[in-house]
Amino acid sequence: MRPGVKLLILCALLDLLIACEPIPDNPPSRNKPPRGSAYVDLAEVLPREWVPFKPWRLDTNRDGEKEWLVFYQFDVPEGRAKASSPISAVIYQPDDNYPPNLIAHELRPLDGDFLCESECKVEMDNVLSGLAGNELVISDWRGGQISRLTIFQWDEGRQEYWPRGHFCGECIEVSVDEIQVKESMHDRAQLTRCETYHAWDNKTYYQSGTLGTPIPCVREEIDFSPDAPEDVCCSPYPEKVVLAFYQNYNKDDEALQFFSEKVRENIGQCDAGECGCAAPRHEIEHVSVLDLIPEPTNEDKATGVERAIVGARIVCERQIGGEESERRIRWILIREDGRWQLQQPIR
């Protein structure tokens, strides 16, 4: 084909591409040049050892313009599947020059950890109430649960995306100014250990004046995984009944159902400090169960009723006055009609 014909065809294709570009919702003024909409293959500018994914387009620095966020795998073994390789991310955003320069900002937690290793998702969300606008939240999803969570915010003074928190666990739940990280205990009752974090000054999950030191959790306790059984007393594991009792400690009707009907008046011992909390039940805001120690079950020879003892370490939080000191308590339970129920506490 003659060179002149090739040139005409190329020009026609470029005209077609330009004609297919969408018209912007808010056309720029004559005084502000438009940001280019030409296609940029970011894979061509990334290091060759990185394996990039399809870019995300979103406004990550709250300037009204969408940036390019690219996840990429690294440390990929030669000749092996990429599924287990770590994933990090970089944001490309134009500067204010004309024509603009494309500036790269690597997203990295303060400890240098990677962001994902399964399914990366990103969103702008208000998870830190002490900061203006939404934060950039990157989550790693595995089996329908978040296993890694990292929070960034565009810092105008530093001119970079500054980390505000980074968490890893089996299941992470995020809400405004609070993060819960859960890990299975791999015990017979399939319970989980839950750590709760409250953002410092509602702005960060790192300690003030440090680079990369996370804030300590405000609460550590045992919880059900994923939720308590519909009728926990039917469980073969009596420690679940003890946990459910303390989770409903200050609720009269709910707490009473965990006692055997014959001895339900024994719940009155809790107001006398016999159930582990020094304050009466109605003055308790929350009970954290730190540990459960089930002892071998046995059968009462006289009655033929199965009997169990479960030890517990608890911390009681009062509605007024803060936390009490850690206490140890043991519970006697009996099994009647296939249901474990509390009998009485013992020291």
- pLDDT tens column, 19-37: 333 333 333 333 444 454 5
Answer yes or no: are the C-beta atoms of 102 and 92 closer than 8 Å. Answer: yes
Answer yes or no: are the C-beta atoms of 115 and 148 closer than 8 Å. Answer: yes
Span 273-322, pLDDT tens digits: 899 999 999 999 999 999 999 998 888 777 778 999 999 999 999 999 89
SS3 label, residue 201? coil
Please tell me which of 34-43, 227-236, 293-302 the model is most confident about, judged by mean pLDDT: 227-236
The whole-number pLDDT of residue 3 equals 42
Give me the CATH topology for the region 232-346: Nuclear Transport Factor 2; Chain: A, (3.10.450)
Q: Which amino acid is at 346?
A: I
What's the rounded mean pLDDT across residues 49-61? 89
Distance CA 54, CA 52 (A): 7
Structure tokens at 161: 């995306």
Residue 336 burial (C-beta neighbours within 10 Å; 0-12, 13-18, 19+): middle
Mean pLDDT, the chain, whole residue set: 85
Structure tokens at 71: 């996840």
Q: What are the phi and psi torsion angles at 196 (to 5°)?
A: -110, 130
Give the up-direction half-sphere exposure of residue 93: CA atoms within 13 A in the CB hemisphere: 23
Of 341, 330, 143, the closest CA to residue 257 belongs to: 341
pTM above 0.95, yes or no: no
Would you list the DSSP string of 231-286? TGGGSS-HHHHHHHHHHTTT-HHHHHTTB-GGGGGGGGGGGGTTTS-SS-GGGEEE
Q: What residue ranges do the domains of the chain occupy?
A: 37-224, 232-346
